[in-house]
Amino acid sequence: MNINDHAINRVAAVTLGCKLNYSETSMILDELCKQGWTLSTIKEGAELIIIHTCAVTKQAEQKCRQKIRGIIRNNPSSRIAVIGCYAQLYPEVLSEINGIDAILGSNDKFDIPCYSKISKKTIHPPLVKVTPASTFDIVYPGYSLPASLSIERTRAFLKIQDGCDYGCSYCTIPLIRGVSRSIPAEQIVERASFLASSGYREIVLTGVNTGDYHYGNLGLCDLLRMLEKVNISRIRISSIEPDIVNDELIMLVAASKKIVPHFHIPLQSGSDRILKAMRRRYDTVLYRDKVLQSVERIEGCAVGADVMVGYPGETEEDFQLMYRFIELLPLAGLHVFSCSLRPGTTLARQVENRERKPVPPAEITRRHRELSELGRMKEAHFKSHFIGKECMVLFEASKLLANGIQQCSGYTRNYLRVLVESSDRLKLQAFRGKELPVMIDSLDDDLNLKGRVLS
């Protein structure tokens, strides 16, 4: 194949960050294909490479810069478009990186014709299109590519909402993605039906504040009821704020055959003093109540949580309060983050004005380690309940192990990863994309459940 034959319209993309970013990258690629571009991968070679960035933390930005520089170095003749959150927040920083040909912000990334105008910039500054997030009033869709075009063939991401009105003190997302806006329910249902008919078995609803879905007088529960009519096996909510988990939602999930018994509910801190400083919309009493209601009223419900350590002003007492609070909660796992000061946030101003004192890095490291260990204990405890039980597993990947054994992996409805192994390669490869009953036999050191398919 001579690259010049196809060089003009092959496009590849790399996505960093959240499920929302992945859904949007796929939508952009889908639209570019409709304009005559050919989907490719960086490995196969592409005339245009899109890098979808994340700026939720300093570490995320650093990762983006490394990825960008690496791609530029290895693909000198490709045009490079850097899009999304980092481009929205720091276009001037990205403009300094030689080899970037275009920088498109959070909404400008959806300007599909713009991609054809991107040319290889040797001396000139890159094409920069970054509209202020304060002006965002349109919400663009986001959805996985049709299963036939996608590596991932079982679980599809579907964007239902963008932006956020919550204004948590440490968060820069509203400054990057604007106010909360929801996609029309009919459009979401139509896209969900298309994804289901293209072969996906599970749809993961995603957004910035996914639970804050509102379209006209329709809320999240109304949308979920509409999606239950779609011919799909599973509907998963990617993440939901504590104040949005209410009786109506819990009863709907408890009674549903399709909406899976799994909530990811960000906690951030287990100290009411710190939750107040973070401007979160709940306290520990409310959070505990939502978790207990969910696990008591929804069979097999798994609740995972995000927690943050090192919030400026967090004392050892606050940390111990958080540790004990989480210890007593029936959580299925933790995502532990270290607080990262973000520009333009209330917290950054407070630290700058010495109203809040940063926590020493060594302390943050210790707290992160201790909470991560607690998270592992909670995960192991929750998963051990399923040993000896039968679970429905949607298999999505299989690989050949060094010892010649075939291994197939997938997730239960409450989002537990399960491995099945056998020397019968063909049999296991055929499991991909199927939801099958599995008897859970054990839990390995990596906290993977292991089992065997019940025929």
| Chain residues that interact with ligand SF4, rule: CB under 6 A | 164, 166-168, 171, 173-174, 208-209, 241
The CA-based angle 378-295-384, given to 5 degrees, is 40
Q: How far is the CB of 158 from ligand SF4 (least distance, A)?
A: 18
Q: What DSSP line would sit under 293-345, residue for residue?
A: HHHHHSTT-EEEEEEEE--TT--HHHHHHHHHHHHTS--SEEEEEE----TTS
Nearer to ligand SF4, 146 or 178 (CB): 178
Q: Which residues contact 185 (CB under 8 A, 6 or more apart)?
A: 215, 218, 222, 223, 226
DSSP code of residue 433: T
Q: How far is the CB of 171 from ligand SF4 (least distance, A)?
A: 3
What is the C-alpha separation between 51 and 330, in angstroms, rounded? 39
Q: How far is the CB of 306 from ligand SF4 (least distance, A)?
A: 9
φ, ψ at 47 (rounded to 5°)? -75, -35
Q: How far is the CB of 400 from ligand SF4 (least distance, A)?
A: 41
What is the C-alpha separation between 55 and 173, in angstroms, rounded? 8
Q: How far is the CB of 163 from ligand SF4 (least distance, A)?
A: 8
Nearer to ligand SF4, 47 or 241 (CB): 241
Q: How far is the CB of 230 from ligand SF4 (least distance, A)?
A: 27
Q: How far is the CB of 450 from ligand SF4 (least distance, A)?
A: 35
Contact 421, 450 (CB under 8 A): yes
The CA-based angle 82-129-165, given to 5 degrees, is 90
Nearer to ligand SF4, 314 or 396 (CB): 314
CB count within 10 Å of CB 392 equals 17
Residue labelled with tokens 């604007």:
178
What is the C-alpha separation between 200 and 228, in angstroms, rounded? 15
Question: Structure tokens of 417?
Answer: 């990863």
What is the C-alpha separation between 232 and 12, in angstroms, rounded? 29
Q: Which among 158, 218, 153 is positioned nearest to 193, based on CA atoms?
A: 158
Nearer to ligand SF4, 166 or 194 (CB): 166
Q: How far is the CB of 341 from ligand SF4 (least distance, A)?
A: 14
SS (HEC) of 361-401: HHHHHHHHHHHHHHHHHHHHHHHHCCCCCEEEEEEEEEEEC
Question: Structure tokens of 112?
Answer: 């599909």
The number of angstroms, rounded, from the C-alpha of 375 to the middle of its chain's C-alpha atoms is 19
Q: How far is the CB of 124 from ligand SF4 (least distance, A)?
A: 36
Nearer to ligand SF4, 166 or 415 (CB): 166
Nearer to ligand SF4, 81 or 171 (CB): 171
Q: Which residues contact 355 (CB under 8 A, 6 or more apart)?
A: none
Q: How far is the CB of 342 from ligand SF4 (least distance, A)?
A: 10
Q: How far is the CB of 15 from ligand SF4 (least distance, A)?
A: 19
What is the C-alpha separation between 426 and 313, in angstroms, rounded? 57
Q: How far is the CB of 299 from ligand SF4 (least distance, A)?
A: 28
Sheet with 127-129, strands from edge to edge, namely 38-39, 10-15, 48-53, 79-84, 102-104, 127-129
DSSP element (H, E) containing 411: strand 406-412
DSSP code of residue 183: -
